[in-house]
Amino acid sequence: MGGNKRFVEEKSIKPKQNTDRIKKHENGQRPSASTVSCSDSRVPNEMIFNKGFGDLFIIRTAGQVSVATSYESTEFATLKLKTLLIVVLGHTKFNAVASAVIRAENVPEHIVTLSNEIMPAVANCTHLPGN
């Protein structure tokens, strides 16, 4: 939370972001937390939490849709890497979610698959237009 506060206040200190830190972790990792977040390039986990190399185990998927590999990655981080915290990091203006909300047509096959995974959550939202 402290790192995120520094990020929001534009007071990031860019910790542990040098070649010494990279060398320290070349034979293994011990991240303190895992993040499950969207693949969106505007959601840079290390920057948002003001962390450095080796601090976070990051699991990213478009639209933050969790599939088997996401669950397996989270399990790996918890059981093998011993991360003590899992942060589910969302953001606004998800393009994948927007496609599901407007039920976009003529989108590539894999995006349709992604939208179909999101639609059950959209159906449960009471604050969307038309719901």
pLDDT of residue 110: 62
Give ranges for CATH 3.40.1050.10 in the chain.
2-90
pLDDT of residue 101: 62
| pLDDT beneath 50: ranges in the chain | 131
pLDDT of residue 7: 87
pLDDT digits 0-9 by tens, 113-127 = 666 776 776 677 766
pLDDT of residue 17: 83
* Residues 56, 31: Cα–Cα separation, whole Å: 5
Strand 85-89 to 56-61 pairing? unpaired
Cα-based distances in Å from 70 to 37, 65, 91: 10, 8, 18
Predicted structure pTM score: 0.70
* Residues 44, 26: Cα–Cα separation, whole Å: 22
pLDDT of residue 43: 85
CATH architecture of 2-90: 3-Layer(aba) Sandwich (3.40)
pLDDT of residue 46: 92
CA 102 remoteness from chain centre: 23
pLDDT digits 0-9 by tens, 80-98 = 999 999 998 877 766 666 6
pLDDT of residue 109: 63
pLDDT of residue 64: 67
